[in-house]
Structure 1
């Protein structure tokens, strides 16, 4: 996509532009909320925890503001080198944004992970933090009210707001509140850009999302995807050929991803191709291969090879 740049259009007086990030423990709805704010799918979502592995930027265009939302990986106690790098990424992001959205789900009790993050946020005193109670569509009104009180006890927040990204409840309000803390200034991205993620990386993420569906609990963290090649077919300009590798850590995991006689890999390819075609707006031929990269989450060289840099 496009790197930040000043657009030639003069914004309205009082126009605001800046960055906000969502933080929370894994699987609390951060990516779904960002997609709802942007109005398009720019981050993959899954019921599996720790789906997000990068600080993905989604761009919200408004008449009065441009809000760049940074979706961060879930903050957790790292068990691998990859986990350590993801935690470092989250902490560095907190110091670089204009506002923070602390996400806590309405349908789950507050636990040690939420309290740990609240303590971390208490040290980022200069950045205003909005507490967001997510997934209200999965909780009763009584549960939501109780959770709002419990979240208020975790720290000092500029606002506490319940939201459902699924049914749209108060999504716009979250946007309004975050925008109110942005500095005045020119837009940072051209009109129409929804993310600054390269298309090949977005395609790899959509393949990984498809591969995460229905796998065993121990497998999601071991899956990585690299797009080796992506280019229009010479005799078919309306068709894009994509060649990608799905990496796992052990031969037994490779067998799970492929499935009996390749049945599961074909399902992954079909599911991913639909999403990729919607992203690119063109027909896609998708070639998927599965390879073993032994213990890649703990190997610095393999992490770099798979795109996870220091």
Structure 2
């Protein structure tokens, strides 16, 4: 009689500098858009849970804000969120990207993160993302360099965007987790509430459409989430959107000049943001969506603890 297969489960945190692809990797691992993605740094502001369940085990991945030199209350909050996540998990995935130059180096920012991970003392993988952007000959010197800096448990090169190596990464992570039953139900994908995901989808469109200086001063709060008409009408095909959800949300900025930019000439920018956000939200919720967006000014909210708390960063 064959011995029963080992079942493993646990938590793994995605840690790294801004824009190394942590959110793209979380989405690739789960197969769903749980975290918003943008080319602008510091897109992720909170920890985001994505659960991957297979017959052989379950991994709860935690996406975190990029670790950077924090200036201001919001930035300090984001860095603290990331470092606290690293302390609470079974395993840390430290993401880097290959340097632009052929000569490998450990940047001061990555060295500072490694110093903190050394103190935390959790088993750590080196995950080299975006390997599709460089010749493979550049990877071995980079791996050797980082192995001299830190005792990594594993080194896994991947391309999260192309999903290259992502499945191997999952199984390697699972093999390092403790034996045990699932922590979450098999059908659980994330702990993010629909309201929170809707707010992030709206902020994603602000990041996409607005000028460089605007997104960092922007937060989104869902004021109304009315599901009273959500149930599909009788006879609605299962592959079509069913019912209606009415959503009202506020886009907060810090200055009147920023409000004017988001609204745009004759309201055109806000209309564009709303149209694209509504399409994403409808796919998320599987229902028709009426989306009402307002732009409000909350002076210096990102610099004040009470401002952070009011807009959900507490």
Do they superpose with TM above 0.5? yes
2:270 to 265, 269, 277: 265
1:120 to 103, 116, 128: 116
Tell me if the contact between 2:229 and 2:245 (Cα under 8 Å) persists in the aligned partners: no
Which sits farther off after the overlay, 212-221 or 48-57? 212-221
Which sits farther off after the overlay, 193-202 or 150-159? 150-159
Distance 2:222 2:63 in 1: 22
1:37 to 24, 29, 34: 29
Tell me if the contact between 1:212 and 1:220 (Cα under 8 Å) persists in the aligned partners: yes
**In the alignment, is residue 203 of structure 1 matched against residue 202 of structure 2?**
no
Distance 1:60 1:159 in 2: 20
Aligned to 2:46, what secondary structure does the other structure show?
coil
Distance 1:124 1:234 in 2: 49
Which sits farther off after the overlay, 244-253 or 134-143? 134-143
Q: Given the two structures, how large is their TM-score scaled by the length of structure 2?
A: 0.90
- Please list every run of 5 or more consecutive structure 1 residues that lacks an aligned counterpart in the other structure: 1-11
**In the alignment, is residue 255 of structure 1 matched against residue 251 of structure 2?**
no
Map Cα deviations across residues 56-79 of structure 1 (whole Å, 9 max, x no partner): 000011111110000011111111
Distance 1:15 1:227 in 2: 40
**Residues 1-310 of structure 1 mapped to structure 2, 5 A cutoff:** 13-108=5-100, 110-125=106-121, 127-234=122-229, 238-309=243-314
User: By how many angstroms is 1:133 displaced?
Assistant: 0.5
User: By how many angstroms is 1:146 displaced?
Assistant: 3.8
Map Cα deviations across residues 31-73 of structure 1 (whole Å, 9 max, x no partner): 0001100111111111000111101000011111110000011
Aligned to 2:266, what secondary structure does the other structure show?
helix
Higher gyration radius (CA):
2
Aligned to 1:153, what secondary structure does the other structure show?
helix
Q: Given the two structures, how large is their TM-score scaled by the length of structure 1?
A: 0.91
Tell me if the contact between 1:107 and 1:143 (Cα under 8 Å) persists in the aligned partners: no
RMSD: 1.6
Distance 1:86 1:248 in 2: 18
Count of residue correspondences: 297
User: By how many angstroms is 1:154 displaced?
Assistant: 2.9
Distance 1:260 1:112 in 2: 43
